[in-house]
A and B are shown apart, each in its own frame.
Chain A
């Protein structure tokens, strides 16, 4: 048995560029024959040389913004996509050469709630996927009952999935991944679209699953989630892992730094430019808040005391008003900003 649950070496995935995107770069002739267009299409690199070593029994969080390559990495690990180059092994099996062994070692939940049949009941879904996972019928029946019980879906198990809430669908999708008791779980944005309560329950479930011995690789673009759940975190951006450490380790990297968090109403990029040029300001990232015309501005600096007066003076200009201000310890969000110069969520 391999020491690592998941290993990737220089994993790369390139896609033929999507039609619309390609059209921008070259005038394309439209042909009626849709198969085997021969001219080489421009390629887009979604995953760009990723190296990961995930320990047995750990929760590993892959944290990154939209389009970073998280889902593409997961799809290569669960054999839905073939790497363009590089290598990946799951449970010691090569994802290309031993695809079937990899599939037997994994339970995967891809993002979105469409991975199960809405015209079947929860129980019918699980029974169906149990057969696909080659679980003997007698064992399967008990296993399905147990999972339904565990996920607190007993009362609704025989209703059609289309009548379920998003949280219930996600629990069926996770049950589907757990059916064969695979040692490794891949969860792609598991809490996406869930209400806060359902998301909290799901995070508790993930922790429980780890206690039961599962290795878990999860992706997320919520830094609180990655921080709270993960033993180690890989930060991924434009297909590359730009930092990999424990949550504490990551935060320590910018430990000397402090973050000034400003809440303002009305924002002018000119003020941003002015503040950036103030000596002692390392980075500045504005983020629009839910409320109309309110912004949260994060400033990283080595010494907040020295620059506070200047900051306050420069902010109250041109209709921009300071509403609130905090000096806080850096979060993973700030780590991300520090590494990439942009916010995790736009």
Chain B
């Protein structure tokens, strides 16, 4: 047990070290760019995971909230002219508030009603962004979004500094999510996922806790969106499209829904495969669509869940063998 934990720590530190020094050992700007985008998407997927994976509510408006974060930042910095970090914080507050308002209503519905409701909310956000040209730039998109402003001596004009900034937020996200999941709050979410009725009868306010999960998920979507806007500096309505939500879902499902490492694993693997399969481009869903279906039937908790289950089984077997050995020993003692 402790050895496993140690191994895990070791592997994690190694991984972190690797991503930390990566920009220093490679000068491949394209690769760094892809990595930054991957980090951003991972943050968004963590938000989705908290709601869909840990609380059991499949939201199909996630890209909408991602876009909400991106456009809010764009509007606050460019149109309103606020300083970057003030706009950044306001963006997070704003997406959370919108999330709270929508969540309050959406969460009165359940299961497929919730999925359809959020699907429609996502679509409304898309249509608004698409049609409200004066504010969002419509189809042409929104250009000239500033890079993150400097904090004291830290400036974020170069790609590498952006890399570290986004990485910082990713690590922060993971730490926060880890702490939430491994706390009474996380157990509360999971109790709701497992059975809302049972959760209620053991005194859990499902209304309140579902709302917390929903707001958290929009918060992380908004955070990712804001980072995306200031990194790419140009955004278009397609980031709020349902296909974007589906992309997030694919990352989450393949990595492992309801697992802590799922979002990282899924996003990295899929983005990486997509890069390798460049020739597939628009047809990548030809591959990922069926994978999604097969996974949900045979390994519903994705790669990460598969590994966890496999480990559990191995452990159980080991225990069995050990207890058998114990019995044999006891017998020997008796016989001897």
Is the A/B pair a real complex?
no
Give chain A's interface residues, CB within 8 Å of chain B.
none
